[in-house]
Amino acid sequence: MNRQGIIVIVFTLLVFLSPFAGAQQEALVVVPNDLTDIEGDTQNGLPINCGQFGNTSTRYQQAYLNSQISGLPVEIKSINFRLSEDRVEVPPVEIPNIQINMSTTQAQPGNLSATFADNLGPIVTSVYSGPLTISAPACGPGPCPFSIPIPLQTPFMYDPADGNLILDIRISSCMGIINISMDASETSENLEITSRVTTGNFGGLGEDSPFGDLVNDTGLVTEFELTILPRISNVPTLSEWGLIAMAGVLGIIGLLAIRRKKVTA
């Protein structure tokens, strides 16, 4: 077997093995997807502007339909919001303490329970804890850029096959009124994609309340910065015998090449 034959066989093996090496892909995904480049139909300041109703603390949950995020497992690294259109600059303001958890949920957007605990899955991950500074430049006609990022201290590993995604935010000390109003949607179609449960409607409910007083009424347009991961469990792998056989084939090729070289010498 000549050198060209060896190269062809090795190349064929590499082509055969290439599907077994999954590739990661960086992505920005906006939920609802149809509002990526379109302004939502409403606006909202919660949970950041929780002091507008005189609340001292707040809890906020928002659910996202799994199919809107990805068909494959992802690593979520940042959640980003944007101002509603025609808004003035939001100067830097520090929220003293914010706790952000993420989880999968079997609850459906648009049909969340008023009881916070009912909306959470069995495993809840803390992705951010501590002070957070919020600011945003002025924005003219929408849609505005996603200029209100919350980079996660701990990226969240999310597999859409496990259920929908839920974001759970607690702010233990609401600031005074913050001049911030974020892009949101309340159409019936989009409420089936993303909706919220939150305290903050003049009821005096805070972060320790087991239930919210605003339920399934709207959802903030959200951008996820994420890495799409290969679904390793669904990728076929070579068995031990397959690896031994492949090693044997390569060994035979090598011996034939050496023998042929000796004969020609």
Is the Cα dihedral 230, 235, 240, 243 positive or negative? Answer: negative
Terminal Cα-to-Cα distance of the chain (whole angstroms) = 14
> Comparing 20-34, 75-89, 232-246, which segment has the lowest mean pLDDT?
232-246
The reported pLDDT for the residue numbered 262 is 56
- pLDDT, tens digit, 9 for 90 and up, residues 11-57: 444 444 444 446 899 999 999 999 999 999 999 999 999 888 788 89
pLDDT at residue 242 is higher than 60 = no
Q: Is residue 110, in this structure, part of any structural domain at all? A: yes
Instruction: Give residue 162's pLDDT.
Output: 97
Higher pLDDT, 125 or 23: 125
Q: What's the length of the chain?
A: 265
Residue 122 above 90 pLDDT?
A: yes
60 & 99 share domain: yes
The reply to whether 172 falls in a domain is: yes
pLDDT of residue 178: 82
- Give the range of the structural domain holding residue 2, as residue numbers without chain letter: 1-23+240-265
Burial class (CB in 10 A: 0-12, 13-18, 19+), 234: exposed
Q: How confident is the model at residue 246 (pLDDT cuts 50, 70, 90)?
A: low
Number of structural domains (the chain) is 2
Instruction: Mark whether 88 and 189 lie in a shared domain.
Output: yes
pTM of the model: 0.80
Query: Could you give the CA distance from residue 37 to residue 27 in angstroms, rounded to a whole number?
Result: 16
Domain assignment of residue 235, yes or no: no
Give the pLDDT mean for 77-89: 96
- pLDDT value of residue 11: 44
Which whole number is the average pLDDT over 49-66?
A: 92
- Output the average pLDDT for the chain: 86
- Quick: pLDDT tens for 160-213: 999 999 999 999 999 877 889 999 999 999 999 999 999 976 666 889 999 998
Q: Does residue 234 form part of some domain?
A: no
How much is the pLDDT for 222?
98
Tell me whether residue 117 is in a domain. yes
Distances (CA, A) of 28 to 11, 59, 77, 186, 223: 35, 26, 10, 22, 7
